[in-house]
Structure 1
């Protein structure tokens, strides 16, 4: 399980900009581990906020993060 105590924003409230970035990363099929680094929050915090905001973290039917389809 992900470490829930690390991250530069640990314990801070999510801003509208944070949620918008989370949505953007999720739409881009970004893995939660990469989101964790980019947002400075634990994977557990990302999953919880995504669920609260109705943001799906399930992989979409498209190439994985960083891959370009031919």
Structure 2
């Protein structure tokens, strides 16, 4: 039997989510930790950060 794939459930970013993302960006939190805390994918967080013109990740 084929493996069932998860159904994609899209959640809008609320004002509180954006505020939290800005705080993490300023604190330079690793993207993996932010993803776990906000229960979103790393790609989703990177896309939102890019849309808001804020730096996120790639800090070595």
TM-score by length of 1: 0.67
Count the aligned residue pairs. Answer: 52
Unaligned runs of 5+ in 2: 1-5
Over 4 Å off, 4+ runs: none
Q: CA deviation at 1:55?
A: 1.1
User: Alpha carbon RMSD of aligned pairs, Å?
Assistant: 1.8
**2:43 is aligned with 1:44:** yes
Gaps of 5+ in 1: 60-70
